[in-house]
């Protein structure tokens, strides 16, 4: 894969329309050739045992991007053992895609948190970091040293999270339109998040 490649990493537990709408906006605004949705293996900041299986999270991404010629499921992180640190993922990914221009896409919540990442300066050297809006997170709180190297894209403020979707499923509330139809059907048929 060459050209301008964006990567949106996440647990995608499950993928939802927030990811897809901001993804589409970044694709357009950064003139990307492809946007890869890359489910994380073992995220450093999350309780792994409580998550849906890697296979289920990847399948939901696959269903969500199906039919979009520029959205792609990437299992790159899932195929790697151990904790997934962005800097390691990016440097390995870059080895396989030496000709590509890489964009690492994060929500404002993650960007504010960047100080706690493993080697954030390394991440900023390996890819253009693109920050999208997220309600409740003020991008002026991002460390100024990081901020000057980032691209900020104002995206629609979507008060949607996977946490809220899991809560709704647990409580028997509808998630129609919160996730693509095929993803809602998959969640129901596998009995996820109950
Ligand atoms: P959880 O509630 O389980 O943390 P989430 O909705 O935050 O799930 P993640 O898989 O953690 O989803 O997010 C992957 C990436 O997408 C992160 O960079 C996150 O900031 C971004 N993101 C998720 N939801 C939104 C949203 N509604 N608007 C903008 N960015 C979002
Ligand atoms: Mg999150």
Q: Is the CB of 74 under 6 A from ligand 1?
A: no
pLDDT score recorded for residue 50: 73
pLDDT score recorded for residue 48: 58
Instruction: Tell me how far the alpha carbon of residue 163 lies from the centroid of ligand 2, in angstroms.
Output: 8
pLDDT score recorded for residue 81: 82
pLDDT score recorded for residue 61: 98
Average pLDDT over residues 167-186: 98
Residue nearest to atom 7 of ligand 1 (CA): 161
Average pLDDT, the chain: 95
Average pLDDT over residues 66-78: 97
* Confidence check: pLDDT of 91 > 90: yes
Cβ contact 107:134 at 8 Å = yes
pLDDT score recorded for residue 94: 96
Task: In whole angstroms, give the CA distance from residue 93 to residue 104.
Answer: 11
The residues near 152 (Cβ < 8 Å, ≥ 6 apart) are 130, 131, 139
Q: How far is CA 136 from the centre of its chain?
A: 18
pLDDT score recorded for residue 99: 94
Q: Probe ligand 1: pick from 14, 161, 166, 187, max atoms within 8 Å of CB?
A: 161
| pLDDT, tens digit, 9 for 90 and up, residues 24-58 | 999 999 999 999 999 998 766 666 567 899 999 99
pLDDT score recorded for residue 7: 98
Question: Taking the model in full, what pTM does it have?
Answer: 0.96
pLDDT score recorded for residue 175: 98
Instruction: Name the H helices within the chain.
Output: 17-29, 54-65, 86-96, 108-112, 120-126, 144-147, 162-170, 181-190
pLDDT score recorded for residue 49: 63
pLDDT score recorded for residue 47: 63
């Amino acid at each position: 894969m060459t050209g301008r490649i964006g990567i949106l990493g996440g647990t995608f537990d499950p993928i939802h329309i927030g990811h897809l709408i901001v993804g589409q906006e970044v694709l357009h605004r950064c003139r990307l050739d492809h946007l890869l949705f890359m489910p994380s293996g073992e995220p450093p900041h999350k309780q792994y045992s409580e998550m849906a299986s890697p296979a289920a999270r990847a399948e939901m991404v696959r269903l969500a991007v199906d039919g979009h010629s520029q959205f792609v499921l990437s299992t790159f992180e899932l195929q790697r053992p151990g904790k997934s640190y962005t800097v390691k993922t990016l440097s390995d990914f870059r080895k396989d895609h030496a000709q590509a221009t890489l964009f690492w896409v994060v929500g404002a919540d993650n960007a504010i948190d960047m100080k706690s990442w493993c080697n954030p300066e390394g991440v900023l050297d390996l890819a253009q970091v693109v920050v999208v809006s997220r309600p409740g997170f003020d991008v002026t709180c991002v460390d100024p040293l990081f901020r000057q190297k980032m691209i900020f894209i104002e995206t629609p403020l979507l008060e949607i999270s996977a946490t809220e979707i899991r809560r709704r499923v647990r409580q028997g509330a509808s998630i129609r339109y919160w996730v693509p139809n095929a993803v809602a059907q998959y969640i129901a048929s596998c009995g996820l998040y109950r």
